[in-house]
Structure 1
């Protein structure tokens, strides 16, 4: 019999064990961020008293909630645990507005049965080694400083459709070398962040006024990655951006689909979103 209880920081070792079984990339710091942003709707499932799966729900103030980290121990699959976790998270999250998530192809089939609809396609691109061009002298691309972070957060709100102060501050604090901004005439024209992972380092989010700025930001961050494979999760609609990444040395690892449950309009213009923070964050 399945039972649910609130997921806590004490459960992070269990979450890490589940994500390792799934071959995912998270570190304990990522679970800490997720739980710090969750006001409820994050659960640990047990089956006959034994830990069996997880789901996380984070709230972006006002507009919507985000569901992620739907993980089930392989020995308990086929028992309805994943569906039970999702239904519990959805029941919690729907009380505050629309619910969003980024789905794998297998997960998408389940989410469609629960009432979700597609927003847009995403792809994870991977590179073992990047041939990074020599650094260009662009005075507008600068490291994100503490005094610049607030402006980047506001810039992000205009493109993402919600404030995600806690997430962006945590990403920058955990990996400041991956934090870069484009500043022109005192105004932010783009920014990027990144984070280390157990299998890859990840660049994202990358948010910018145009493709040229997005390229410069990604290159600035990539120069600081210490010889590890790199991933970037992109909006597949950004055709020029995608083509440039493939030329740079990235290959397609796997697709995702951004999905929503409930009325959703804030991200209809996604032209400034070049890379997401990750499917667990949006």
Structure 2
């Protein structure tokens, strides 16, 4: 079977969306566009030129990269395409770069065979439209819409929270956001931020960077307020109090995918202010 592997472009966005749907995933044009603008996407085409696999690598500076969106069409699974795409992503970055990914249960054995190891997990929470909604009549006055002049401070506090500079990704993600808000201290300094992304199935809230669990919950309340559909939040390790809160206000934990790394044994040092990740593809 003759398979051609290419670097994908914006002309392939529709093909990626169709590929995503073939495995039950819900990528849309806006999400794929952000992935492409932030990193590199690679995929196989069959003899007819149809896209049958894809994978993305998103660099954060020179020391960290995230791999995700590894998809193989069901008709072509079991042929090694997922491994080939992942290896091609790895070859596009330095062997000294820390590589992270958030694995599916199906993909975990393949990644382990490629030298990735589990270091922690994330907790995927969803509140469906039939759940009781948490109301907050007095929105915190220190949570305000993000402005262009806030970008430098947002990038800096995100670096402390995530462990590496994500400036390119953040600029692209903010363009995609339904809402982008910041938390300001009493003297006007930005001490937290969050985004909401409206997808075809869920309103995704993340990243969530906050100085405390209390501020994280206020950011969630602000961004979820008046949304009548599903809301999704992916919580990284180390925030049990936030998870208790989410369950109290109608969220249900639906999975706990593993975070895996290669070329190291741990994630970059973080300052414990990352309460919600952006999405699995972005780490």
Normalising by the smaller structure, the TM-score range is over 0.9
Structure 1 gaps, min length 5: none
- The CA deviation at 1:266 is 5.5
What aligned pairs does 1:117-128 form with structure 2 within 5 A after superposition? 117-128=117-128
Equivalent pair of 1:37/1:58 in contact (CA under 8 Å) = yes
What is aligned with 2:191?
Answer: 189
- Please identify, of 67-76 and 167-176, the stretch whose mean Cα deviation from structure 2 is larger: 167-176
Q: Secondary structure at the match of 1:277?
A: coil
- Alpha-carbon RMSD across the aligned residues, in angstroms, is 1.8
Equivalent pair of 2:68/2:281 in contact (CA under 8 Å) = yes
What is aligned with 1:172?
Answer: 174
Number of residue pairs the alignment of both structures matches = 278
What aligned pairs does 1:259-274 form with structure 2 within 5 A after superposition? 259-263=260-264, 267-269=268-270, 271-274=272-275
What is aligned with 1:203?
Answer: 205
- The CA deviation at 1:210 is 0.9
Alpha carbons of 1:53 and 1:266: their partners in 2 closer, same or farther (altered >3 Å)?
Answer: closer
CA distance in 2, matches of 1:270, 1:228: 32
Among 207, 212, 215, the alignment partner of 2:214 is 212
Q: What TM-score does the superposition give when structure 1 sets the normalisation length?
A: 0.92
Equivalent pair of 2:203/2:229 in contact (CA under 8 Å) = yes
1:47 equivalent to 2:75? Answer: no
Equivalent pair of 2:204/2:231 in contact (CA under 8 Å) = yes
- The CA deviation at 1:264 is 5.8
What aligned pairs does 1:45-194 form with structure 2 within 5 A after superposition? 45-49=44-48, 50-95=50-95, 97-129=97-129, 130-177=132-179, 179-184=180-185, 185-194=187-196
Q: Secondary structure at the match of 1:5?
A: strand
Q: What TM-score does the superposition give when structure 2 sets the normalisation length?
A: 0.92
- Please identify, of 80-89 and 8-17, the stretch whose mean Cα deviation from structure 2 is larger: 80-89
**Deviation digits for residues 42-94 of structure 1, max 9, x if unmatched?**
21112345421100111111221111110111111111111111111112224
- The CA deviation at 1:170 is 2.2
- The CA deviation at 1:147 is 1.7
CA distance in 2, matches of 1:211, 1:97: 31
Q: Secondary structure at the match of 1:93?
A: coil
Structure 2 gaps, min length 5: none
- The CA deviation at 1:32 is 1.1
- The CA deviation at 1:267 is 3.1
Equivalent pair of 1:64/1:96 in contact (CA under 8 Å) = no
CA distance in 1, matches of 2:59, 2:6: 19
- The CA deviation at 1:276 is 0.3
